[in-house]
């Protein structure tokens, strides 16, 4: 967000609500310290979608709170930031010494479901953000929900097209990003190797604010979030910027490693978010947490069970094919995903869209998860064009930028669409029904895919109307 735009916005709001709204009183007590929020974004604040975390960055304004309400003109409830605003320091191998702005997180609690809220964040004496809004998700256990899913976003014109398409869909109020966000770790190739440029996190935060200040962004780390530079004194702490800049509901979901893996529930869905770039073998913290989380899922409440990680377990693209994080994590976790009847697994990393048939141990299997690779949101590395001959488990593949959308209708039927960025339009290029057999709400049950657009897949019962 441009600072000038913030000032204009604040003045305009002051002029329009000068009489009633207590939130506005005293906001600009000291114009010399004007330091309003930048890079505002949202995340669900708990595992049930009943609270929202607002995150933002200031230069020096250490105080922070959020005013919110269900009317744009009555932001009369205030919540303080969760902890003291924090900076982090990043020393690049190649010279950049970066000290971040002050990073603030505040949690708005006790939100009603399916309700539109307005808010602004900031602090008295330093200035406030524009007024943003979000619509809360449905209560856990209800049947309908729509969300967007993307991966490998970056900050190019293609990235902007993708998030504009998400923004222009009035039916979706939550986006899952399966890792690789800013590409700050390799933003400036002034050396033969990577040159991490933390300023690119700030430009990314500004780029996405207009979308993700108005709907929660639920994300996980990709390889571009590792940002471990070396040798010392360069920064060695993996995922440093990712951990500091985001606040996912990890603690609330019983995880112990910050934003690295966690779960949450919305309406009819239990989402599991994993990290391909840390220990995942049996006995590791992540594996044992996953096992416990899978056991906790009550399919009579959340019939749909989705998992996400950055590196795909199934993909037929030549790029990033069968990397250790892909084959290793699959070897470690595929059995428990299969046993617990995960419906779909989203991944990125490969910059091309690919939808797999339900597959288990390299063979199509109607009881297995459907794999969807969606690492094509628009980063600067471009689409991955080269493919191996198409395996039997690969249903549809296309190396183009775009985003995915899941519309859950009930406990048995969800509609998956992949929207390709075609000029300025988001054009549906892949379109199937994900079908669960809800006759038995827990295992065993069959998955099915019912394609539109004339594509067919044998082996599953045909889609029936509902």
Name the residue nearer to Fe ion (CB basis): 180 or 227: 180
Nearest CA to 66 out of 28, 106, 37, 38 is that of: 106
Any contact of residue 227 with Fe ion (CB under 5 A)? no
- State in Å, rounded, how far the first CA of the chain is from the last one: 45
Of 122, 222, 366, 402, the residue at the interface with Fe ion (CB under 5 A) is: 222
Any contact of residue 349 with Fe ion (CB under 5 A)? yes
State residue 166 phi and psi, 5-degree precision: -65, -45
Spatial contact of 449 and 395, defined as CB atoms under 8 Å apart: yes
Instruction: Give me the least distance between CB of 89 and Fe ion, in Å please.
Output: 25
Any contact of residue 58 with Fe ion (CB under 5 A)? no
DSSP-derived 3-state class of residue 211: helix
Interface with Fe ion by CB under 5 A: which range of 74-82, 217-225, 323-331, 434-442?
217-225
Largest CA distance in the chain: 69
Instruction: Give me the least distance between CB of 194 and Fe ion, in Å please.
Output: 13
State residue 397 phi and psi, 5-degree precision: -145, 145
Name the residue nearer to Fe ion (CB basis): 123 or 220: 220
Name the residue nearer to Fe ion (CB basis): 172 or 182: 182
Instruction: Give me the least distance between CB of 202 and Fe ion, in Å please.
Output: 21
Interface with Fe ion by CB under 5 A: which range of 15-23, 154-162, 346-354, 407-415?
346-354
Name the residue nearer to Fe ion (CB basis): 309 or 333: 309
Cis bond before residue 351 (omega within 30° of 0): no
Catalytic site includes residue 447: no
Q: How many CB atoms lie within 10 A of CB 88?
A: 17
Instruction: Give me the least distance between CB of 350 and Fe ion, in Å please.
Output: 8
Instruction: Give me the least distance between CB of 310 and Fe ion, in Å please.
Output: 6
Instruction: Give me the least distance between CB of 311 and Fe ion, in Å please.
Output: 7
The CA-based angle 193-196-200, given to 5 degrees, is 135
DSSP-derived 3-state class of residue 397: strand
Q: Both tokens of residue 336?
A: 């428990």
Sketch the per residue contact string, 142 through 181, with Fe ion: x for CB under 5 A, - otherwise. Answer: --------------------------------------x-
Residues 87 and 100: their CA atoms lie apart, in Å, by 5
Any contact of residue 404 with Fe ion (CB under 5 A)? no
Residues 352 and 385: their CA atoms lie apart, in Å, by 7
Name the residue nearer to Fe ion (CB basis): 353 or 433: 353
Interface with Fe ion by CB under 5 A: which range of 35-43, 344-352, 358-366, 456-464?
344-352
110's CB contacts (< 8 A; 6+ apart) are: 50, 51
Interface with Fe ion by CB under 5 A: which range of 114-122, 184-192, 216-224, 325-333?
216-224
Name the residue nearer to Fe ion (CB basis): 64 or 222: 222
Q: Both tokens of residue 27?
A: 């906001």
SS (H, E, C) 209-251: HHHHCCCEEEECCCHHHCCCCCCCCCCCCCCHHHHHHCCCCCC
Residues 97 and 327: their CA atoms lie apart, in Å, by 36
DSSP-derived 3-state class of residue 330: helix
Any contact of residue 223 with Fe ion (CB under 5 A)? yes
Residues 174-213 that bind Fe ion (CB under 5 A): 180
Reported in sequence order, the residue ranges of 274-412 that DSSP labels E, i.e. its strands, are 304-308, 344-347, 353-356, 359-360, 363-364, 370-374, 394-398, 402-408
Task: Write the burial class of residue 394 (CB in 10 Å: 0-12 exposed, 13-18 middle, 19+ buried).
Answer: buried
Instruction: Give me the least distance between CB of 349 and Fe ion, in Å please.
Output: 4
Name the residue nearer to Fe ion (CB basis): 153 or 359: 153
Q: Which residue's CB atom is positioned nearest to Fe ion?
A: 349
205's CB contacts (< 8 A; 6+ apart) are: 38, 39, 41, 57, 182, 245
Interface with Fe ion by CB under 5 A: which range of 53-61, 222-230, 273-281, 405-413?
222-230
Instruction: Give me the least distance between CB of 382 and Fe ion, in Å please.
Output: 13
Name the residue nearer to Fe ion (CB basis): 152 or 293: 152
User: Which residue out of 65, 104, 224, 320 is catalytically annotated?
Assistant: 320
Q: Both tokens of residue 68?
A: 């919110």
Interface with Fe ion by CB under 5 A: which range of 32-40, 112-120, 215-223, 424-432?
215-223
Binding site for Fe ion (CB under 5 A): 180, 222-223, 349
> Which residue numbers are catalytic?
320
């Amino acid at each position: 967000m441009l600072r000038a735009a913030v000032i204009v916005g604040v003045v305009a709001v002051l002029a329009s609500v000068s009489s009633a709204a207590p939130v506005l009183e005293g906001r600009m007590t000291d114009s010399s310290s004007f330091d309003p929020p930048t890079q505002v974004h949202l995340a669900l604040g708990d595992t049930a979608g009943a609270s929202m975390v607002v995150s933002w960055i200031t230069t020096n304004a250490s105080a922070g709170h959020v005013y919110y309400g269900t009317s744009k003109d009555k932001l009369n409830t205030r919540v303080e930031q969760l902890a003291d605003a924090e900076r982090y320091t990043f020393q690049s191998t190649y010279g950049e010494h970066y000290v971040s702005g002050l990073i603030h997180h505040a949690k708005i609690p006790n939100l009603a479901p399916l309700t539109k809220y307005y808010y602004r964040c900031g602090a008295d004496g330093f200035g406030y953000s524009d007024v943003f809004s979000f619509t809360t998700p449905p209560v856990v256990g209800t049947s309908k929900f729509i969300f967007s899913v993307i991966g490998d976003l970056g900050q190019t014109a293609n990235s902007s097209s993708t998030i504009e398409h998400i923004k222009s869909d009035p039916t979706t109020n939550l986006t899952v990003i399966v890792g690789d966000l800013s590409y700050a770790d390799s933003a400036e190739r002034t050396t033969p190797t990577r040159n991490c440029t933390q300023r690119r996190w700030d430009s990314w935060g500004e780029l996405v604010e207009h979308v993700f200040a108005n709907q929660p962004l639920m994300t996980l780390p990709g390889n571009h979030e590792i940002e471990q530079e070396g040798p010392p004194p360069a920064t060695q702490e993996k995922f440093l910027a990712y951990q500091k800049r985001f606040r996912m509901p990890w603690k609330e979901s019983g995880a112990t490693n910050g934003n690295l893996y966690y779960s949450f529930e919305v309406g009819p869905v239990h989402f599991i978010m994993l990290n391909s770039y840390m220990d995942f073998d049996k006995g590791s913290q992540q594996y044992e947490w996953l096992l416990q989380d899978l056991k906790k899922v009550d399919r009579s409440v959340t019939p749909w069970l989705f998992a996400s990680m950055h590196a795909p377990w199934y993909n037929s693209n030549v790029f990033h094919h069968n990397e250790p994080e892909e084959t290793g994590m699959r070897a470690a976790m595929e059995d428990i995903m299969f046993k617990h009847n995960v419906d779909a697994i989203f991944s990125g990393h490969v910059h091309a869209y690919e939808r797999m048939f339900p597959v288990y141990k390299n063979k199509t299997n109607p009881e297995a998860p459907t794999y969807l690779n969606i690492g094509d949101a628009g980063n600067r590395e471009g689409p991955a064009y080269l493919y191996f001959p198409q395996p039997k488990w690969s249903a549809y593949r296309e190396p183009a930028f775009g985003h995915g959308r899941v519309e859950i209708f009930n406990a048995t039927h969800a509609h998956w669409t992949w929207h390709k960025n075609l000029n300025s339009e988001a054009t549906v290029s892949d379109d199937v029904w994900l079908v669960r057999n809800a006759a038995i709400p827990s295992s065993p049950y069959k998955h099915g895919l019912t394609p539109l657009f004339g594509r067919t897949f044998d082996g599953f019962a045909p889609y029936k109307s509902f």
